[in-house]
Structure 1
């Protein structure tokens, strides 16, 4: 199977089937508060993972998991995770409806392609916003003017350049320890 087939056929088809099976319908609320809908969303997520599996892009194969494995992983998952360090350390932990704890705010282009010439200034803009708790990386369109090609040695250079650029941007914003 190819990544394209997985992304554009397998996942959307499974999501539609599972949405219908679990009667998932969102109303006006951005965040569901109806306990029954919340439970169905959870069951749908588990169903999606168990029935679809996890695609390994390197091997082109699907890793199948059982419901017991999913539930064991959830039970054994850490209850809280420390992100970042020093003054930029935040704790990622479960929140329930109407929680008094503020949510973790992530800033960044979330995997989108970004021009090399604006990469550092853009990430600096995200990092200098006090409301942003963590940074989500993007993909630099070119490295030294050369388009980044996946599955090549150049991809390693591109990844290292992206990491350095994001770290530089965060340091410029006075937040060298923010989680990325």
Structure 2
């Protein structure tokens, strides 16, 4: 696999272009080209893809697409490019298991095949906004769920009477406080070794993430850190700084992305390809040991409409069948908490994901 130093060299010296040119002259034409070349079309009668050959074509299209597009670096206005051979070598070398936690709470997250009888990894919680007085109790409640193998911790958006802000000193404090509450919450639940795999939802910048990840605040390399791009297939030095720190430490890195249906990804067929391409970006640029995708509809601002469910199903199957990497999906509901529609949406999403190999 291409090493990380070479990735950084390409980030500094790759082809230069404006962000607008990357979107309009590179990304969109390349996506249209591969959709036609690999004959990718959504059957509107399907919510879950049932065609294995289509899933494989989605993967082939994603490899072709990513070899043409690469990852755009907003700081340098350059593109990190990879050949098809480099991408396929990275797929072969990518971690197929991610190990989380310590002691009796240590666990492994593995890739699953579509229609597998193997139980999926049970992850509990999300990086939702909350206040300090609620955060600790919320984490403890997550950790007390006996089936939970890993958890997420919430975002702390206030410190006392002050609201936190990205890039401000309050963000550093919020990140540290979230880390401390995460460790204390698992200890109170009697599971001090339980892994937290959404570090650091309270910190959006590389500086605050690295500061809050110092071991004296409770961070462990057996936890997991999510490193996110920008829509679509863009990143910056702040994210690469996080990757450099975490790679040097040997910590688990999670590639997360929320591609948008109705944006540059286009319709459901394009979304399926872009979803899959993000996992290629993850193993090559972010050095991911696990992957999180949460596609969303631009208009409805949820993930449970049929076209998004189908695109997620097709891309999940493409990744499961051809990459075998640890992979899970977060889907957003349109309905409010504790409503019947919310549970209907959750059921639809889970049935699709488990059958598709997430």
- The two structures have a TM-score, normalised by structure 1, of 0.74
Q: Is this contact kept in 2: 1:114–1:141, CA < 8 A?
A: yes
Instruction: Supply the distance in 1 between the matched residues of 2:42 and 2:71 (Cα, whole angstroms).
Output: 25
- Assess if the C-alpha contact under 8 Å between 2:73 and 2:80 holds in 1: no
Where does 1:120-159 land on structure 2 (aligned, <5 Å)?
Answer: 120-159=136-175
Once the two structures are TM-superposed, the CA of residue 20 in structure 1 deviates from its matched residue by: 4.7
Q: Give the Å deviation of 1:176.
A: 1.3
- Spell out the pairing of 1:31-70 with structure 2 (5 A cutoff): 32-47=49-64, 49-56=66-73, 59=75, 61=77, 63-66=79-82, 67-70=84-87
Q: Map of 1:21-100 to 2, 5 A cutoff?
A: 21=36, 23=40, 25=42, 27-29=46-48, 32-47=49-64, 49-56=66-73, 59=75, 61=77, 63-66=79-82, 67-100=84-117
Partner residue, 2:350: none
Taking the aligned partners of 1:115 and 1:19, their CA distance within structure 2 comes to: 46
Q: Deviating runs (4+, > 6 A) in structure 1?
A: 12-16
* 1:159 aligned counterpart, secondary structure: helix
1-side partners of 2:152 and 2:181: how far apart?
13
**Equivalent position to 2:187, from 146, 171, 174:** 171
Q: CA offset at residue 134 of structure 1?
A: 0.8
CA–CA separation in structure 2 for the residues paired with 1:146 and 1:17 = 47
The alpha carbon displacement at 1:164 in A equals 0.8
Give the direction of change, closer, same or farther, for the CA distance of 1:144–1:99 in structure 2 (3 Å limit).
same
TM-aligned CA distance change 1:146 to 1:61, over 3 Å:
farther
**Residues 120-154 of structure 1: CA deviation (Å, up to 9, x unaligned):** 22222222112221112332111233222212333
What is the CA RMSD across the aligned residues, in angstroms? Answer: 3.2
Q: Which residue of 1 aligns with 2:122?
A: 105
What is the TM-score with the length of structure 2 in the denominator?
0.41
- Figure out how many residues of one structure are paired with residues of the other and give that number: 170
Give the Å deviation of 1:52: 4.5
Which structure 2 residue ranges, 5 or more long, are not aligned? 1-17, 197-358
Deviation at 1:177, TM superposition (A): 1.0
